[in-house]
């Protein structure tokens, strides 16, 4: 039986990937951080919580990474753990560097010392392209990161390549464009919108405050994207791949489509608040995943409109059940209104 270690198992991708690997017959080990309130709702939601071997580990603590490798003795490591929110990286630039950047080196170095035969997937990102993009971005497009998060990820990206070239470690960078789902964190714009629309449609709230509506993203469906991570580690040779839908839509289009699903006019409910604007913005991301199509046989099926519908209908259905008195593991009811969270950007 193959063994996989997934760092960041409590996150969106960690949850879907664990489910995928369990279905493939893997023994799955997942690392989680010690928090004051445990955060396993996604694993519970997917019905896989009991099937995963959980190991406490923090990417700033190298001993905990070595210990996770010793306990799990994995064939494959999927390094998904990160401070993954671009907005927060402007507020915590050093912390983001320590986790999202140096954390990668800690994982790679632990693998080098423990067993160089372990295959490593590094969660790289389309954010690396930053402000440079105009046409479709592929593996040859230059990187020009535009946030502390992206700079940290770029460092991690290069370290994975360096460990591959220097030590022969089978390390792959998955340059994944934005991928969303009902399990997306509530601070990311797509889920913020789908949850906001659901609450407005059900009369729980009246308005939704957002930042830059002009930014364009290439949004795909997370359950399909985790399959590409696994495919990368099954190849003969390690390599880096862009994973994307090839379509780009603005935040405004996402908003309009999401309110449409609920039969509402977005212009009556959406407000723009500078608080949600970033000091530096990535205006356009649109990926060219032809290499992944050719070499991995990967292609996306769920496109923009279906993705929006899936997310809005899911949030509406969960809020209805919740209001009917049903209680289940879920993030939305305990998430505060972002209006109460102060932003440093207000001072710029």
| Binding residues for ligand GDD (CB under 6 A) | 84, 86-87, 125-127, 177-178, 187-190, 192, 210-212, 215, 217, 251, 276, 278, 281-282, 285
Sequence-distant (6+) residues with CB within 8 A of 209 are: 270, 271, 272, 273, 275, 276, 338, 339
Q: How many CB atoms lie within 10 A of CB 237?
A: 8
Minimal distance in Å, beta carbon 148 to ligand GDD? 12
**Which pair of tokens denotes residue 201?**
């449609």
Of the listed 31, 125, 141, 190, which one is catalytic?
125
Cβ distance 84 to 96 under 8 Å? no
Phi, psi of 174 (to 5 degrees): -95, 110
Q: Which does 35 bind (CB under 5 to 8 A by kind): ligand NAP, ligand GDD, none?
A: ligand NAP
| Cβ-based nearer residue to ligand GDD, 52 or 282 | 282
Place of tokens 């990311």: 188
Q: Which does 211 bind (CB under 5 to 8 A by kind): ligand GDD, ligand NAP, none?
A: ligand GDD
Please select the residue that binds ligand NAP; options are 84, 137, 194, 248, rule is CB under 6 A: 84
222 closest CA partner among 46, 29, 28 = 46
Sequence-distant (6+) residues with CB within 8 A of 342 are: none
Please select the residue that binds ligand NAP; options are 18, 66, 72, 125, rule is CB under 6 A: 125
Task: List binders of ligand NAP among 168-197 (CB under 6 A).
Answer: 176, 178-179, 185
**Which pair of tokens denotes residue 170?**
């089978």
Minimal distance in Å, beta carbon 186 to ligand GDD? 9
Place of tokens 């927060």: 88
Q: Which does 18 bind (CB under 5 to 8 A by kind): ligand NAP, ligand GDD, none?
A: none
Of the listed 127, 180, 224, 257, which one is catalytic?
127
Place of tokens 């629309």: 197
Minimal distance in Å, beta carbon 40 to ligand NAP? 9
Q: Residue 335 carries which DSSP code?
A: P
125 included as an active-site residue? yes
146 closest CA partner among 123, 127, 126, 124 = 127
221 included as an active-site residue? no
Q: Which does 60 bind (CB under 5 to 8 A by kind): ligand NAP, ligand GDD, none?
A: ligand NAP
Q: Which does 250 bind (CB under 5 to 8 A by kind): ligand GDD, ligand NAP, none?
A: none
149 included as an active-site residue? yes
Q: Could you tell me the sign of the dihedral formed by the alpha carbons of 146, 291, 177, 84, in that order?
A: negative
Where in the sequence numbering do the catalytic residues fall?
125, 127, 149
Q: Which positions touch ligand NAP (CB under 6 A)?
A: 8, 10-14, 33, 35, 39, 58-60, 80-84, 99, 123, 125, 176, 178-179, 185
């Amino acid at each position: 039986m193959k063994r996989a270690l997934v760092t960041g198992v409590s996150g969106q991708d960690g949850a879907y990937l664990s489910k995928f690997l369990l279905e493939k017959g893997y023994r799955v080990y997942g690392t989680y951080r010690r928090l004051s309130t445990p955060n396993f709702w996604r694993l519970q939601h997917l019905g896989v919580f009991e099937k995963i071997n959980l190991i406490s580990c923090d990417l700033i603590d190298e001993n905990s990474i070595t210990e996770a490798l010793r306990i799990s003795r994995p064939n494959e490591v999927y390094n998904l753990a990160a401070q993954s929110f671009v907005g927060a990286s402007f507020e915590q630039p050093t912390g983001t560097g320590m986790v999202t950047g140096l954390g990668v080196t800690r994982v790679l170095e632990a693998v080098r010392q423990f067993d160089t035969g372990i295959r490593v997937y590094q969660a790289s990102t389309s954010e690396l392209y930053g402000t440079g993009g105009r046409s479709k971005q592929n593996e040859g497009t230059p990187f020009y990161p535009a946030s502390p998060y992206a700079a940290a990820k770029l460092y991690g990206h290069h370290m994975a390549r360096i460990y591959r070239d220097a030590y022969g470690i089978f390390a792959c960078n998955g340059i994944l464009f934005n991928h969303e789902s009902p399990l997306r964190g509530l601070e990311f714009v797509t889920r913020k919108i789908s949850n906001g629309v659901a609450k407005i449609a059900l009369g729980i709230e009246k308005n939704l405050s957002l930042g830059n509506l002009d930014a364009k993203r290439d949004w795909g469906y997370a359950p399909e994207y985790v399959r590409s991570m696994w495919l990368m580690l099954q190849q003969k040779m390690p390599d880096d791949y862009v994973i994307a839908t090839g379509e780009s839509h603005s935040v405004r289009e996402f908003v309009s489509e999401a309110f449409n699903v609920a039969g509402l006019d977005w212009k009556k409910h959406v407000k723009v608040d500078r608080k949600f604007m970033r000091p530096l913005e990535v205006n356009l991301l649109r990926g060219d995943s032809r290499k992944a199509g050719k070499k991995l046989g990967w292609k996306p099926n769920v496109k923009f409109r279906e993705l929006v519908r899936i997310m809005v209908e899911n949030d509406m259905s969960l809020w209805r059940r919740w209001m009917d008195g049903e209680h289940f593991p879920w993030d939305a009811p305990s998430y505060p209104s972002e209006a109460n969270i102060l932003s440093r950007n207000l001072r710029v």
